[in-house]
Amino acid sequence: MDASTKKAVVQRLASASGHIKGIGRMVDEEAYCIDVIRQIQAVQAALNKVSSMMLDNHLHTCVTTAIRGDDPEEREKMLQEITSVFEMTGK
Confidence of residue 90 (pLDDT cuts 50, 70, 90): low
Domain count, the chain: 1
Confidence of residue 85 (pLDDT cuts 50, 70, 90): confident
pLDDT in tens, 26-72: 999 999 999 999 999 999 999 999 999 999 999 999 888 888 999 99
Range of the domain at 7: 3-89
Rounded (5°) CA angle 19-24-28: 145
The CATH number of whichever domain residue 28 belongs to comes to 1.20.58.1000
Quote the longest CA-to-CA distance of the chain. 58
**pLDDT value at 91 more than 80:** no
Q: Where are the alpha helices (DSSP H) in the chain?
A: 3-28, 33-58, 64-68, 72-89
Which of 55, 6, 59, 15 has the alpha carbon at shortest distance from 39?
15
